[in-house]
Amino acid sequence: MPNYIVILTLDKINKQSLNFSKWLEKTSHRFKTDLSRYDNSWYKHPPFLEKCAVVFLVNAIAINSYLPLPARIKCEILRLFGAKIGKGVMIKPKVNIKYPSLLTVGNYVWMTKVFG
């Protein structure tokens, strides 16, 4: 008897998944994106490979680590690489910043790692 119940349950699941796939076929035209209209002209490619390597190493050692550096020192390091950072900024441990030259942060901002 339990095998029969499992078969009925699987049959219901298969019917539900078929209904979902039919619904998805009907509504998938709503989710299409026209990539020819995409514009990323604002993006500035990092200037030199050497600078990128230095930023990567400094980020790994000082910014994206649990090394107990004061936030003021982290902000100064990022400013050296071109970041525009306001006053009173708190940078918590394990914050990953790939392109500091593109980073602009206002006053009294806390930057932290998002868990999830």
Q: What pLDDT was estimated at residue 6?
A: 43
Query: How do residues 74-88 score in pLDDT, each as one tens digit?
Result: 999 999 999 999 999
Q: What pLDDT was estimated at residue 116?
A: 56
Q: What pLDDT was estimated at residue 110?
A: 93
Note the pTM of the prediction, 2 decimals.
0.59
Please name which of 19, 44, 21, 32 lies closest in space to residue 103, comparing C-alpha atoms.
Answer: 44
Q: What pLDDT was estimated at residue 17?
A: 52
Residues of the chain with pLDDT under 70: 1-31, 46-47, 116
Sign of CA dihedral 111, 106, 104, 56: negative
- Whether residue 67 contacts residue 61, with contact meaning beta carbons closer than 8 Å, is answered with yes
How many angstroms separate the CA atoms of 57 and 49, rounded? 12
Q: What pLDDT was estimated at residue 46?
A: 63
Q: What pLDDT was estimated at residue 8?
A: 44
Burial of 90 (0-12, 13-18, 19+ CB in 10 A): middle
